[in-house]
Amino acid sequence: MLARDFLRFCLGAVVAHRARSLLTVTGIAIGIAAVVLLTAIGEGIHHFILTEFSQFGTRIIAVAPGKVSTLGLSGAILHNVRPLSLADAQALARVPGVEAVVPVTQGNAEVEGNGRTRRSLVIGASSQVPAVWLMQPELGRFLPDEGAGNEGGRALAVLGAKLRAELFGDASPLGARIRIGGEPYRVIGVMASKGQMLGFDLDDTVYIPVARAMALFNRDSLFEIDLLYGPEASSVTMADRIRQALLERHGHEDFTVTTQDQMLEVAGSVLNVLTLAVGAIGGISLAVGGIGILTIMTIAVRERRREIGLLRALGAAQGQILLLFLGEAMILALLGGLAGLALGLGGAGLMGILVASLPTHIAWEFALAAVASAGLIGLAAGVLPALRAARLDPILALRDE
């Protein structure tokens, strides 16, 4: 049988039973579209999280107070919490390889200015925020060096872009007096817009000296200490140096050192599992579509016994009959795969337009694997019906009414 006759026969069989073929193609298409769309969402979230973690640079190490440990045969969990102090931050600044240090504390407070009041995030930090967090003032300047000392620093404040707009509109707030938690501050700068970071609106924020923030919120410990290390050092080496410096001060490890590489690795691992999970959900739909092909092709063999008998009588070999029915099953599966791919890509694009906060990113390896899987499913689902068709006795098939 010529290749064009083979294709004409298979396509003719698909077209001749439009309703049945449409149902089969739809089942496969839904499965493929589910794989493409769900993995696009999973990959989009993956890229979003990694971008969020990376927008402050890639050479940051965070030190947080407290260490969770398990001791004894009973497996008792002990939480060792000792405050991280400004003196700790100053000591870490002297660790070889550390370029900048930002001691951080934070809380929420009422911010009053220009006759308006807004409750916003208050971050106590040091003058090195622009270097460590890659954030630059749009107007004015950031906190000076003396703003982060143990003496408390001057009552100076830097506004986030959104907070500036809410309190002062388009007017310049430089030199204006505001009150934070009832205490007076002078505005010396406005930060460029940074957007959101894992749910925190960095633009709806006011920055003040860290010692003043600790006093404002009655804290005896820093929220964390962020360190920027030089490009010539590795994150593992710097983490060990920082850990050793704090051990010398604290006597035991009552703190947690986390490198940005570790954060990205953990986030990536979790999101990879998420992507695989949503891909597996779409795979279930593909399996259901495969069952549909098996059912449809089994029915087709029963309905087309006379056609099979005629082909055998005209000289078609068992192998040719087998290939004809396998080809029909694969055409159905591939049509469904291509239709599902188009639906998935269109759905992902539409979702990205309608829900801008939900990023989508096409995982082409999953999409192409899904289409290939559709062809394999069609091949596998068509084997048994095709074998049954090939083994039919031509005389008995021709006599079938």
pLDDT tens readout for residues 114-132: 999 999 999 999 999 998 8
**CA count, 13 A, side-chain hemisphere, 374:** 32
* pLDDT tier at 142, thresholds 50, 70, 90: very high
Residue with the bigger pLDDT between 158 and 147: it is: 158
How does pLDDT run across 18-53, given as a tens digit for each residue?
777 777 778 778 878 877 887 787 777 777 776 766
Q: Is 66 among the domain residues?
A: no
Domain co-membership, 123 together with 242: yes
Q: What is the DSSP string of 282-333?
A: HHHHHHHHHHHHHHHHHHHHHHTHHHHHHHHHTT--HHHHHHHHHHHHHHHH
Do β-strands 183-191 and 205-209 pair in parallel, antiparallel, or remain unpaired?
unpaired
Most confident of 2-16, 170-184, 305-319: 170-184
* pLDDT tier at 173, thresholds 50, 70, 90: very high
Q: Is 98 among the domain residues?
A: yes
Domain co-membership, 356 together with 275: yes
Find out whether 16 and 333 touch, Cβ atoms under 8 Å.
Answer: no
Tokens representing 251? 């006597």
DSSP 192: P
Find out whether 224 and 64 touch, Cβ atoms under 8 Å.
Answer: yes
Of residues 296, 292, 301, 337, the one with CA closest to residue 322: 301
pLDDT score for 282: 66
Q: Is 243 among the domain residues?
A: yes
Number of domains, the chain = 2
Q: Is 59 among the domain residues?
A: no
Of residues 247, 227, 267, 223, the one with CA closest to residue 64: 223
Q: How far apart are CA 179 and CA 68, in angstroms?
A: 38
Domain co-membership, 27 together with 107: no
Write down how long the chain is: 401
Domain co-membership, 289 together with 241: no
Average pLDDT over residues 5-19: 66
Q: How far apart are CA 328 and CA 314, in angstroms?
A: 20
How does pLDDT run across 252-306, given as a tens digit for each residue?
888 889 887 777 777 667 767 776 776 677 677 667 767 776 777 677 666 666 6
Domain co-membership, 288 together with 326: yes
Cβ neighbourhood burial of 399 (10 Å; 0-12, 13-18, 19+): exposed
Domain co-membership, 177 together with 201: yes
Q: Is 75 among the domain residues?
A: no
Domain co-membership, 90 together with 234: yes
**Residue 390: its H or E element:** helix 364-390
How does pLDDT run across 345-396, given as a tens digit for each residue?
888 888 777 776 667 777 777 778 777 777 777 667 666 666 666 666 666 5
pLDDT score for 123: 94
Q: How far apart are CA 224 and CA 63, in angstroms?
A: 5
Q: Residue 274 sits in which domain range? A: 3-52+265-399
Domain co-membership, 330 together with 244: no
pLDDT score for 31: 77
Phi, psi of 79 (to 5 degrees): -105, 105
The last residue of one of the domains, among 200, 231, 253, is 253
Q: How far apart are CA 328 and CA 335, in angstroms?
A: 11
pLDDT score for 377: 72
pLDDT score for 42: 74
The last residue of one of the domains, among 253, 288, 317, is 253
What pTM was computed for the model? Answer: 0.63
Phi, psi of 393 (to 5 degrees): -75, 125
The last residue of one of the domains, among 204, 222, 253, is 253
pLDDT score for 241: 93
Q: Is the pLDDT of residue 183 over 70?
A: yes
Average pLDDT over residues 235-256: 90
Q: How far apart are CA 46 and CA 182, in angstroms?
A: 41
Find out whether 180 and 122 touch, Cβ atoms under 8 Å.
Answer: yes
Q: Is 165 among the domain residues?
A: yes
Domain co-membership, 280 together with 322: yes
pLDDT score for 246: 92
Q: Is 241 among the domain residues?
A: yes
Domain co-membership, 102 together with 37: no
Q: Is 259 among the domain residues?
A: no
How does pLDDT run across 54-109, given as a tens digit for each residue?
677 778 899 988 875 544 444 444 445 668 899 999 999 999 999 999 999 999 99
Domain co-membership, 108 together with 230: yes
Q: How far apart are CA 377 and CA 379, in angstroms?
A: 5
Domain co-membership, 94 together with 46: no
